[in-house]
């Protein structure tokens, strides 16, 4: 079975995580896919596959005779889909021999335009998989799951020597909790790769340093007719705070290694208001400076309107994995060579986000990220090609063979 055929099956399973939930996993529906994967792994011949009570799937393929002393390699993908856009009742559409032109998404009124996404022209002639425009596709990261599962099926049918191979599927990656309960010791790999990136020729080993910031404002509410020199409108103070942040350091005006402040949510009235942000930067010093900018803005508000008007809470989320990957750059060399063997021109891409691999790297499991062949994740314009997924499966084989040598 080709990887894209598995993807078509997996995307039908509703697994969206919930950032407002306090349960583990955040949604019980993620067990639906986890249980299917365990059953499928056992059917393929991986007898020790299991899902634990927190919805983490673990499986191991023993080393072939003579390779028991080789370093073990792991592959990891996540089962949940992003809560940014609905992942329920997904209706994937398959276009064989795609013409490289604009893609009309069913009757939704949405179109993937070549003018917006020039890479589409390079996908001409491939088998393109996209949504009907009413949901996301779920290729992030069910494509990674499908590619790993297809690799497992193929490796168990070959007699090629290999070391121990560890397989892991996680819940709740999309809400930043994918590594929270990952048992590195139980997983058992010396090194691993997450399969959770974009283009199939991309290798990612740098990601944002990340933090979340909540800014709460307390105003003074009084009848507007009696408000002179008394009222402090918390909603207006919140707007004043946001205006003190660099206007060009927002997602819509940054790219590459440029960091940003991203206002994700706002609420409030005269008496109280709240702004929620995420802070991102690849550079550790610039990341620290961004947090200081917010602290300075909060201090100015309190000096102007009185202590307690502004309360800032910053919580670090994850770090740039680069410092943990640099001592093991052979992992990147292996990935580049495996891509070249698969006929690709590999490229290093700095992730403008994070993956399970970033946190796992700081948990003692060096874990760069591989592309999946997908594009435009987290929304209805998401798409992927069957051929790109085939390439990723080849790359996984190439990595295993290099670890076996």
Residues acting as catalytic residues: 80, 173
DSSP code string of 342-358: TT---EEEEESS--HHH
Strand duo 374-375 + 209-218: pairing: unpaired
Nearest to 371 by CA among 144, 148, 75: 144
Please give the DSSP secondary-structure letter assigned to residue 113: -
Q: At what angle do helices 386-404 and 3-10 cross, to 10 degrees?
A: 120
Q: How far apart are CA 362 and CA 370, in angstroms?
A: 18
Grouping H, G, I as helix, E, B as strand and the rest as coil, residue 185 is helix
Q: How far apart are CA 253 and CA 257, in angstroms?
A: 12
- The alpha carbon of residue 339 and the mean position of all alpha carbons in its chain are separated, in whole angstroms, by 21
Per-residue b/e over 123-162, b at no fewer than 16 CB within 10 Å?
Answer: beebbbbbbbbbbbbbbbbbbbbbbbbbbbbbbeeeeeeb
A 10 A CB-CB count for 96 gives 9
H or E element in which residue 332 lies: helix 330-341
């Amino acid at each position: 079975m080709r990887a894209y055929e598995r993807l078509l099956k997996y995307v039908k399973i509703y697994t969206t995580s919930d950032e407002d939930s306090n349960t583990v996993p955040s949604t019980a529906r993620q067990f639906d896919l986890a249980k299917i994967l365990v059953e499928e792994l056992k059917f393929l011949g991986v007898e020790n596959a299991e899902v634990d009570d927190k919805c983490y799937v673990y499986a191991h393929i023993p080393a072939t005779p003579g390779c028991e002393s080789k370093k073990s390699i792991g592959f990891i993908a996540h089962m949940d889909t992003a809560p940014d856009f609905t992942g329920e009742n997904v209706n994937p559409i398959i276009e064989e021999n795609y013409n490289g032109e604009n893609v009309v998404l069913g009757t939704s009124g949405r179109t993937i335009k070549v003018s917006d996404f020039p890479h589409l022209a390079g996908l001409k002639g491939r088998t393109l998989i996209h949504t009907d425009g009413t949901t996301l596709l779920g290729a992030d990261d069910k494509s990674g799951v499908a590619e790993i599962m297809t690799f497992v099926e193929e490796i168990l049918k070959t007699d090629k020597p290999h070391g121990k191979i560890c397989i892991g599927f996680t819940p709740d990656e999309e809400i930043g909790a994918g590594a929270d309960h990952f048992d590195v010791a139980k997983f058992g790999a010396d090194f691993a790769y997450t399969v959770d990136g974009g283009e199939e020729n991309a290798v990612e080993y740098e990601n944002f340093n990340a933090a979340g910031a909540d800014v709460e404002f307390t105003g003074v509410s009084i009848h507007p007719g009696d408000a002179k020199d008394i009222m402090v409108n918390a909603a207006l103070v919140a707007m004043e705070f946001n205006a003190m942040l660099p206007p060009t350091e927002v997602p819509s005006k940054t790219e590459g290694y440029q960091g940003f402040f991203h206002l994700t949510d706002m609420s409030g009235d005269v008496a109280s208001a709240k702004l929620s942000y995420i802070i991102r930067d690849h550079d550790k010093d610039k990341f620290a400076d961004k947090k200081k900018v917010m602290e300075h803005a909060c201090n100015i508000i309190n000096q102007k309107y009185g202590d307690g008007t502004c309360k800032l809470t910053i919580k670090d989320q994850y770090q740039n994995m680069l410092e943990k990957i640099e001592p093991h750059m052979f992992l990147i060399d292996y990935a580049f060579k495996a891509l070249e063997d698969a006929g690709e021109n590999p490229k290093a891409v700095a992730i403008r986000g994070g993956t399970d691999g970033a946190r796992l790297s700081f948990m003692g499991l060096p874990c760069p990220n591989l592309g999946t062949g997908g594009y435009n994740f987290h929304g209805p314009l998401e798409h992927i090609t069957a051929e790109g997924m085939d390439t990723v499966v080849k790359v996984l084989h190439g990595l295993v063979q290099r670890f076996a040598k």
